[in-house]
Chains A and B, each alone.
Chain A
Amino acid sequence: MAVPKVCGTETEYGVVLRGAPDPNPVLASSVLINSYVEQRKVGWDFEDESPGRDARGYAREGTQAPEIETHLVNTVLTNGARYYVDHAHPEYSTPECADALELVLADKAGERVLAKSMQAASRLLEPGQSIVVYKNNSDGKGNSYGCHENYLVDRTVPFSSLVRYLLPWFVTRQVFTGAGKVGSENGAAAVDYQLSQRADFFEEEVGLETTLKRPIVNTRDEPHADPQLYRRLHVIAGDANLCEVATFLKVGTTAIVLGMIEDEFLESGPGARKEWSLAGPVPAMRTVSHDPTCRAQIELADGRRMSAVELQWEFLRLAKKYADETGLELCGGEDVGGQVLTRWEAVLSALEDDPMSLDGQLDWVTKRNLLDAYVERDGLTWSDPKLALLDLQYHDVRPDRSLYERLVRAGKVERLVDEQDVQEAITEPPGSTRAYFRGTCLARWPEAVVAANWDSLILDVGGDPLKRIPMMEPLRGTRAHVEPLFASVDSPAELVARLAS
């Protein structure tokens, strides 16, 4: 049975320390985050972290909470987000959100946090040095870093069902999730331009890895919630998007597809198709990404061939039936879910007729149109480094340098959220999930919050031992639940006392 699709993204940003003789990305990331959170930092609590646990039912030997990294900067923000150094990148995990539109807001606020961090860091660096971050997923030289999505999923759904439908889902959704990339890498066939930053890096169908032999479906099993009830589906097969429409569709459609999988709608709903499996999902990932016409045929397990867009129409056809029969209350709500269906249909129609008409909605199209304009004006060939530079700088997060932001300011990009709301989301948590409780505690009593993680908070209320407040249910601790409680207490000690009673 479907459970509410609480969702979030974790974005690793590319980072460069310029003007330093021996730039160290770990140090640069730490400086960046420290500069942002100059005020008292609240540490992250690793107690419940187990990234080595596999959804297929076993734990990898020797995988523990990432002890080695605990000395790195790791902090929680008043908007409920986690902002930290992951390996050699600054990483921003949005607070838990209840629907795709909230997530667009939280994800965009993350970009603003990074931009503010760069500004703040410039005051700490030596003259002539600067830190620059990019919201992309590849350096074009075989190194990739992720933008992962997370969705709350019913624990009773067999993981094999998720795998069965998610493989064709992740392969085909690239037609709207791709952030666009000049050239190919990691041994992939040469291509001028492709849909996805990430497609060249997937080498397995299913697995636990995230950094080598990347699997299309990742099996990390860390629910960050009641493990008897929930999974957290950890998606690594997506690009970091700047276009709000792309983020909205990526998350909104995936939430609905997950609802359909949980309710067994894709296999036994009215008019369900018999065959969803692809003959070769790993090569199909590249086939789809390497074809900007969106017409390339991929083979299904039964030998038939269809394009990614055609298979997407099949998902959409059933999603509309699902909405009619079951409703979308658990997949982002009727309002936002309905908007997702409408947009999904419009985008598939446009991809069929003329993909380039999606300028300003999808990143891969928006960037491609910009590059095409340069190719035409300057007579460039696709191997010209200027095109690679334009590709990279599209993702530059500095507002004055970002080519994406230039296009926004020129009115060429469609926005789904108000900038004023984005500015608020830099400090305010969404009201719809437990992020509200986490963020509000931090904003009100920063001194008392000793540590925090996704599913608990540790408070020092003075005298007694530290108090751990479990938050195992992602939809408890919302504004509706706890605003009256916060209004009626004056101290963290009172809060703990009230929660205990």
Chain B
Amino acid sequence: MPEQQRRQRPAPKERVEETEELPATSERGEKLKGELDDLLDEIDEVLEINAEDFVKSYVQKGGE
């Protein structure tokens, strides 16, 4: 799974190489940040309005 591979921690040796290629890494970082910003924007669209009231009104009595 590509997601999985990206998340995997690189071995220590690879990490040294990564710091040597700083520009590429930060470019990739920018891209990731851009993706995350887009995702947050998308989530903003579906979030319930008036967080405070909504959270306050969520009460669950009785269970198990």
Interfacial residues, chain A to chain B (CB-CB below 8 A):
12, 14-16, 25, 86-89, 138-141, 143-146, 148, 210-211, 236, 350, 353-354, 357, 359-360, 370, 373-374, 377, 384-386, 388-390, 392-393, 400-401, 403, 406-407, 410-412, 414
21 CB < 8 A contacts A-B: A14-B60, A25-B62, A86-B64, A88-B63, A89-B63, A143-B61, A143-B63, A144-B64, A353-B9, A373-B40, A374-B40, A377-B40, A385-B52, A386-B47, A389-B51, A389-B55, A392-B54, A392-B55, A401-B46, A407-B39, A414-B4
Q: Are A87's CB and B58's CB within 8 A?
A: no
Contact A406–B43 (Cβ < 8 Å): yes
B14 at the binding interface (Cβ < 8 Å): no
* Partner pick for A406 among B8, B37, B46, CB 8 A cutoff: B46
Q: How far is the CB of B13 from chain A (nearest CB, A)?
A: 16
Within 8 A of A (CB), among B27-45: 35-37, 39-40, 42-43
- B residues whose Cβ falls under 8 Å from a Cβ of A: 1, 3-4, 7-9, 35-37, 39-40, 42-43, 46-48, 51-52, 54-64
B50 to chain A, nearest CB (A): 9
CB–CB B3/A360 < 8 A? yes
Task: Decide: B9 and A354 in contact? CB cutoff 8 A.
Answer: yes
Known contacts A392-B55, A393-B47: A211-B7 contact under CB 8 Å: no
Are the CB atoms of A145 and B47 closer together than 8 Å? no
B39 touches A406 (CB 8 A): yes
Most buried by A among B3, B54, B63: B63
Contacts of A148 in B (CB 8 A): 64
Is there an interface contact between B9 and A210, defined as CB atoms closer than 8 Å?
Answer: no
A219–B7 Cα distance when bound, in Å, is 41
Pick the contact of A88: B7, B51, B61 (CB < 8 A). B61
Contact assessment for A236 and B60 in the assembled complex, using a CB-CB cutoff below 8 Å? no
Minimal Cβ-Cβ distance residue in A for B42: A406
CA distance A392 to B53 in the complex (A): 13
**Complex A-B, nearest 7 residue pairs according to Cβ-Cβ distance, in ascending order:** A145-B63, A88-B62, A389-B51, A210-B64, A385-B52, A87-B62, A139-B60
* One of A25, A373, A389 near B60 (C-beta < 8 A): A25
Cβ of A414: which chain B residues have Cβ within 8 Å of it? Answer: 1, 3-4
Distance in angstroms between the alpha carbons of A214 and B48 in the assembled complex: 32
Smallest CB separation, B59 vs chain A (Å): 5
Known: A373-B36, A386-B51, A389-B51. A141 touches B64 (CB 8 A): no
> Whole-angstrom distance from the CB of A466 to the nearest CB of chain B?
32
Please name the residue on chain A nearest to B3 by beta carbon. A411
Q: Is A350's CB under 8 angstroms from B9's CB?
A: yes
User: Closest B-chain residue to A15, C-beta based?
Assistant: B60
Assuming the contacts A360-B7, A389-B47, asked whether A87 and B63 have C-beta atoms less than 8 A apart, the reply is: yes
- Nearest-CB residue, chain B, relative to A356: B7
B54 touches A389 (CB 8 A): yes
Would you call the interface of chain A mostly helix, strand, loop, or mixed? mixed
Contact A377 B59 (CB under 8 A): no
Instruction: List the A side residues contacting B51 at CB < 8 Å.
Output: 384-386, 388-389
Which chain B residue shows the least CB distance to A12? B63
A140 and B58 form a contact (CB under 8 A): yes
Bound together, the chains give a CA A350 to CA B54 distance in angstroms of: 35
Residue of A nearest to B37 (CB): A377
Say how far B58's CB is from chain A's closest CB, in angstroms. Answer: 5
How many angstroms from the CA of A483 to the CA of B50 in the assembled complex?
Answer: 54
Bound: A394/B12 CA distance, A: 34
Q: Give the shortest distance, in Å, between A413 (CB) and chain B (any CB).
A: 8
Q: Would you call A389 and B48 a contact (CB within 8 A)?
A: yes
Most central of A14, A350, A370, A393 by chain B CB within 10 Å: A393
Q: A353-B9, A411-B3 are in contact. Are A143 and B60 (CB under 8 A)?
A: yes
In angstroms, Cα B46 to Cα A350, docked, is 32
Measured between beta carbons, the chain B residues less than 8 angstroms from A86 are 63-64
Please determine whether A236 and B46 come into contact, CB atoms closer than 8 angstroms: no
Q: Which residues of A contact B42 (CB under 8 A)?
A: 406, 410
Least distance between A154 CB and chain B CB atoms (Å): 26
Greatest chain B CB density within 10 A among A143, A353, A357, A400 is at: A143
Contact between A87 and B64, CB atoms less than 8 A apart: yes
Chain B residues with CB under 8 A of A388: 51, 55
Q: A143-B60, A385-B51 are in contact. Are A359 and B9 (CB under 8 A)?
A: no
B57 contact set on A, CB distance < 8 A:
16
